[in-house]
Chain A
Amino acid sequence: MTVKTMATYAAEDKKPEILFWVGCAGSFDDRAQKVTRAFAEILNKAGIEFAILGDEEACTGDPARRAGNEFLYQMVALQNIEVLNMYEVQKIVTACPHCFNTIKNEYPKLGGNYEVVHHTQLLQQLIDNGRIKLTDTDSFKGRRITYHDSCYLGRANGIYEAPRSVLESLDGQLVEMKRSKRNGLCCGAGGAQMWKEDEPGDKRINMERADEALATGASIVAVNCPFCLTMLTDGVTAREKQEDVMVLDLSELIIQQM
Chain B
Amino acid sequence: MLSTIIFIIIAGGALAYAGYQFNLVRQNILLASDEAIEGPSGERWKNMLLVAFGQKKMFKKIIPAVLHFILYAAFVITQIELIEIFIDGVLHKHRFFASSLGGFYTFMISFIEVLSLLAFVATVIFLVRRNALYIPRFSGPEMRGWPKLDANLILIFELILLVCIFTMNGTDIVLQNRGEAYYPATGSFAVSGWLGPLVFGNFSTATLVVLERIGWWGHLLMVLWFLNYLPSSKHLHILLAFPNTYFSRLEPKGEMDNMPAIMKEVKSMMDPDAPMDEADMSEELPEFGANDIFGLNWLDTLGAYSCTQCGRCTEQCPANITGKKLSPRKIVMDVRTRTEEVARNIRSGNEEFCKDPAQPLSKDNYDDGKTLWDYISKEEIHACTTCNACVEACPVLINPLRPILAMRRHEILTESAGPADWLPLFNSIENAQAAWSMGKSRKEWVDQ
Contact = CB atoms under 8 A, between A and B. Distances in A.
Given A185-B318, A199-B325, A205-B319, A190 B412 contact: no
A67 B422 CA distance: 8
Contact of B392 (A27, A37, A72, A155): A155
Interface string B145-170: 00000000000000000000000000
Given A55-B442, A67-B425, A71-B262, A191 B384 contact: yes
Size band of the interface chain B makes with A: 35 or more
A33 B441 CA distance: 12
Contacts of A137: none
A151 to B, nearest CB: 4
A157 interface: yes
Contacts of A196: 382, 419, 421-422
Given A37-B448, A76-B429, A155-B391, A70 B259 contact: yes
Interface string A42-62: 000000000011110111010
A146 B90 CA distance: 66
B396 interface: no
Nearest to B411: A68
Contacts of A176: none
A258 interface: no
A204 interface: yes
A195 B405 CA distance: 17
Interface in A62-89: 63-72, 74-76, 78-79, 82
Contact of B387 (A79, A151, A207): A151
Interface string B386-420: 11110110000000000001011111110000110
B322 A203 contact: yes
Nearest to B263: A74
Contacts of A57: 442
Given A182-B392, A196-B422, A201 B443 contact: no
A28 B436 contact: yes
B179 interface: no
B132 interface: no
B79 interface: no
Contacts of B316: 183
A76 B103 CA distance: 72
Contacts of A197: 421
A71 B408 CA distance: 13
Nearest to B428: A59
Contact of A70 (B323, B413, B421): B413
A130 to B, nearest CB: 27
Interface in B297-356: 316, 318-319, 321-326
A208 B435 contact: no
Nearest to B381: A68
Contact of B322 (A63, A156, A208): A208
Contact of A183 (B252, B392, B442): B392
A188 B385 CA distance: 6
Nearest to B442: A27
A68 B408 contact: yes
Interface in B200-237: none
Contacts of A188: 318, 385
A67 B408 contact: yes
Given A55-B443, A64-B425, A192-B422, A151 B386 contact: yes
Given A71-B413, A201-B319, 16 more contacts: A67-B425, A67-B426, A69-B426, A74-B263, A74-B265, A74-B267, A76-B429, A151-B389, A188-B318, A191-B386, A192-B425, A199-B319, A199-B382, A202-B322, A203-B322, A203-B323
Q: Which 6 A-B pairs have the closest CB atoms?
A: A156-B254, A202-B323, A68-B408, A191-B386, A196-B421, A58-B433
Interface of B: 60, 251-256, 258-259, 262-263, 265-267, 269-270, 288-289, 316, 318-319, 321-326, 379, 382-389, 391-392, 405, 407-413, 418-419, 421-422, 424-426, 429-430, 433-436, 438, 440-448
